[in-house]
Chains A and B, each alone.
Chain A
Amino acid sequence: MRALRLALLFLFVFAAPAFAQYTPIHDFKLANGLQVVVIENHRMPIISHMVWYRVGAIDEVNGKTGLAHFMEHLMFKGTKTVPAGEFSKRIAEVGGTENAFTSYDFTAYFQQLSRENLETAMRLEADRMQNLSLKSDDIEKERLVILEERRSRVDNDPGAQLMEEVSPVLYGASPYGRPLIGYADKIAKLSQDDIMDFYKAHYAPNNAILILSGDISLDDAQRLAEKYYGALPAFDIPARKPQTLSPAAPSRTVTKQSKLVSQKSYYRMHKMPSYGLLPEGDLLPYALQIWSEYLGGGGASLLYQEFAVRRKIATSFGVSYDPGRVGETSFSFYATLADTVGEKEFVRRFNASIDAALSKPIPPERLSKIKRQLAQEYIYAQDSNFHQAYVYGQSLAQGRSVTDIQSWPARIAAVTDKDLEKAATLIKRTRPVAAWLKPAPGGRNN
């Protein structure tokens, strides 16, 4: 009986006109190991050009936190033939927008421009992949800029400070427990040698992915990739330290009180495996994504309805789970408390409701609707050149394949009640770290 129901469910899901790819995707590799992905979208004569390096904060060693991010800033500060600041000038001159960002698992550089100006960006990006040439004056100035960035993102933001305190508790000695932007005292000490060593160790074509997304054909992409990136030599990249699920987090509540906060927020965070820590095609992270959607994916979700609408103990509530990481990640619940509820009462009700929800199966009709919804959202991701480039770049930099990415809707559809039960049990059995962000007694005086 159960097998028949499963088969019917499968039929229903495949009957829906879902998993379609409207923007053709191609991928190939150059001889020097550069992975290239081409996403065709001919709506407008524009293109997103992105280079993703498989290097990020997790590759920092010897306590040199912030090195990967500093590196990203310094990539704009000159090569043997292009002086500091010229990169951005030349992109702007051809009507391009640009930026870069660093994460734990990757560092990415991108420009968006009219199709006719693509080669300007490719030439410049290929140049700085291996020809960086830095002046100590520029390094010192950029160090000051990064310290200001840290002040904006962390020192002025109690919520970010709380997360900086929680991460090492949740992730222990794992590199995910360290701040991405780095600690201020460590940033202050990073030397030109540190930076150039890091650059030479990680910035190579065989450690990178090129994404061309927009008004381009496969033929042109192959020709241009070869023209600008083909001559860059590959070299040995230190193997990335294998990631594992670190030991169970202690049962702790981290509390931060701040005069700069006037409401209470509560977090419950469970360390979880990601795609990177599981065999390819394992359905656990897909089941977790479905739980995330079911429990807290918006105004109609089960727990938003319970906490914000019926019981009125929270003014906001959400769930987050990012499965894409190379290493461990978390399945987190968070809420801002309503003024009228006491802390103990809130935590008691919060935990009881979450545990109760995880202990019951997701109703079949709700499950099939969630699967259909997620499959439909897959189409929206294709609407913008940049968004699709981002999705492919990030996934590949984190170790997925193009097939993996395109299998996402089918794997979501394939998740069974048993998979969901296994995922729920894992959450319940994983001791969470809890955190409070609270107003300090006395409060702000302005």
Chain B
Amino acid sequence: MIKRTAIFLLLILFAPNAWALTIDRVTSESGIEAWLIRDTTLPIISMSFQFLSVGDRADPEGKEGATGIMAGLLTQGTKSHSQQEFQQLLTDNAISIGFSTDNDAISGSLRTLTENKKLAFALLKDALTEPRFADGDIERFRAQVLAAIKREDDEPESLANKTWWKTAFNGKAYGRYADAQSVKAITRDDIIARHAAAFDSGRLIIGVAGDISAEELSKTLDDIFGALPHKAERPDIAATAIPMAPARKTIVIDRDIPQTYAMFGQMGVLRNDPDFYPLYVLNHIVGGGNFSSLLVEEVREKRGLAYSVYSSLDPYAETALIQGSVATKRESFAESKAQIVDVWAHAADNITAERVDAAKKFLLGSFPLRFSSTAQIANILVAIQRDKLGIDFLQKRNALIQSVTKDDIIKAAHKYMDPDKLLFVIVGKYSEEPKGDNDK
């Protein structure tokens, strides 16, 4: 029995033209739901899914990395196939199946040609429900993870990023990281426990795009996910964000490299916050635009201080940030930092009607570009479900941005953008300018 509870034909009107995307809400016989955009341009099917609230933050104390390792091992051997066999089946049939984790969720993806879909779906089911977790594969994977951790600490960008999060959250919640000690402490039992805790279809959201019908998808959902327990509840959308710790303003990791790299950031707003859209447009003006943001203008275009400087608005499940980065030669880094702080301090003053208009034009006009490949479309369908934006979101989205006023944005700038709240993590050589009072 197929339960198709709703079919929405979405007509989004852009200036004179309209484009239509049909999202099918497909429900399987056992109640597993997926959102589908069918497209037969190519014989390709892409599936994207997330198991919510069982990401890295769910790792037990002292075992940071366990969920990530468990997820990575799902494609490294199952009850029916050894690591080599499983990988060979994927490669030989041009099937991609992958899993990854972040703080909030375990994500998975599948891409297959139509002609190989039966095998692809069977392998995905296999990986999810019957991973082998062989000792040899665990040890090999552990060694790769330990190598990756070493590399992270070698590279200024990843070191700055890791240090920023650890500092901002005092090593808890979003500030926990796997290290050599925690990774070495993870046992096979830990991995099995993470697997048992994670894969419940009660916390599963799925997006599918490409060459498959709703009827067929309905059956496929049960084939792949039907055997999973369905005991968990879908987690609620968070009402408040976990705050950053009162920050030490500037942390410097001294390193003898020619170019100094910094990550900076402060609190933002959750996805469903009423201030989200004003802040979204504000961030585009401040540092999100490609070549026309305040940060790029002041740091790169006017002064040639950096090749890359930007900011981005990043809501997560239970916290939200505005983060950015910059890289400048060591002799001039203090000047870059001063410019960034200045942009932050005077953001409200620089919100002109012209900038608001240009930002909106870009954000509205570039929306269709996100729907280029089947994989991108599947990911968007997951994001809409994750943030509970509604099946009519694609229809509403542009109006939500269009309705943001210049005053809304100025208010948001005054309310949120505070250079005194910025946490800077700097990797490289850094000395404060003698007369700078921005860095205290």
B257 contact from A98, A112, A260, A385, Cβ within 8 A: A260
Segment 35-74 of A: residues with Cβ below 8 Å from B: 41-46
Most B CB within 10 A of own CB, among A94, A140, A149, A299: A299
CB of B41 within 8 A of CB of A43, answer yes
Q: Smallest CB–CB gap between B25 and chain A, Å? A: 21
A142 within 8 A of B: yes
What chain A residues lie within 8 Å of B327 (beta carbons)? 148, 151-152, 156
Against B, the Cβ 8 Å flags (1 = close, 0 = not) of A136-156 are: 000011111111110110011
A97 within 8 A of B: yes
CB of A76 within 8 A of CB of B291, answer yes
CA distance A370 to B368 in the complex (A): 36
CB of A41 within 8 A of CB of B41, answer yes
CB of A17 within 8 A of CB of B254, answer no
CA distance A191 to B365 in the complex (A): 38
B243 within 8 A of A: no
Chain A, Cβ-Cβ closest to B46:
A383
Q: Smallest CB–CB gap between A158 and chain B, Å? A: 8
What chain B residues lie within 8 Å of A142 (beta carbons)? 304
CA distance A56 to B299 in the complex (A): 28
A96 within 8 A of B: yes
CB of A384 within 8 A of CB of B362, answer no
CB of B259 within 8 A of CB of A446, answer no
What chain B residues lie within 8 Å of A92 (beta carbons)? 289-292, 358, 361-362
CB of B329 within 8 A of CB of A148, answer yes
B369 within 8 A of A: yes
CA distance A275 to B43 in the complex (A): 30
CA distance A341 to B372 in the complex (A): 46
What chain B residues lie within 8 Å of A46 (beta carbons)? 368-369, 371-372
CA distance A260 to B83 in the complex (A): 33
A376 within 8 A of B: yes
Interface SS of chain A: helix, strand, loop or mixed? mixed
CB of A152 within 8 A of CB of B92, answer no
B362 contact from A93, A149, A379, Cβ within 8 A: A93
Chain B, Cβ-Cβ closest to A338:
B143
CB of A300 within 8 A of CB of B291, answer no
B329 contact from A95, A117, A147, A299, Cβ within 8 A: A147
Chain B, Cβ-Cβ closest to A150:
B307
Q: Smallest CB–CB gap between A103 and chain B, Å? A: 18
What chain A residues lie within 8 Å of B84 (beta carbons)? 299-300, 305, 309
CB of A145 within 8 A of CB of B373, answer no
A327 within 8 A of B: no
CA distance A309 to B261 in the complex (A): 36
Q: A92-B362, A144-B305 are in contact. Are A379 and B87 (CB under 8 A)?
A: no
CB of A95 within 8 A of CB of B366, answer yes
What chain A residues lie within 8 Å of B371 (beta carbons)? 43-44, 46
B167 within 8 A of A: no
A152 contact from B90, B143, B259, Cβ within 8 A: B259
CB of A151 within 8 A of CB of B92, answer no
Number of interface residues of A (CB under 8 A): 76
Q: A92-B361, A373-B92 are in contact. Are A143 and B304 (CB under 8 A)?
A: yes
Chain A, Cβ-Cβ closest to B86:
A300
CA distance A340 to B91 in the complex (A): 30
Most B CB within 10 A of own CB, among A43, A145, A261, A263: A43
CB of B372 within 8 A of CB of A384, answer yes
CB of A386 within 8 A of CB of B92, answer no
B374 within 8 A of A: yes
What chain A residues lie within 8 Å of B369 (beta carbons)? 46, 95, 97, 112-114
Q: Smallest CB–CB gap between B48 and chain A, Å? A: 14
What chain B residues lie within 8 Å of A99 (beta carbons)? 290
Given contacts A94-B365, A261-B154, A383-B44, list 19 more A-B pairs with CB under 8 A: A89-B291, A93-B362, A95-B366, A95-B368, A95-B369, A113-B365, A115-B17, A141-B301, A142-B304, A148-B328, A149-B307, A155-B257, A156-B261, A263-B147, A298-B87, A300-B87, A301-B91, A376-B94, A379-B113
In the complex, the 8 A-B pairs of residues with the closest C-beta atoms, listed nearest first? A95-B365, A144-B304, A376-B94, A300-B87, A151-B259, A88-B291, A149-B307, A299-B87
Show 19 residue pairs from A and B whose CB-CB distance is below 8 angstroms, ordered by the A residue: A44-B371, A85-B301, A88-B290, A92-B289, A92-B358, A93-B361, A93-B362, A95-B361, A141-B301, A145-B306, A145-B307, A148-B306, A149-B307, A151-B327, A156-B156, A260-B255, A263-B151, A300-B85, A384-B373
Which B positions have Cβ atoms within 8 angstroms of A? 14-17, 19, 39, 41-44, 76, 83-85, 87-88, 90-94, 111, 113, 115-116, 136, 140, 143-144, 147, 150-151, 153-154, 156, 253-259, 261, 289-292, 300-308, 327-329, 358, 361-369, 371-376
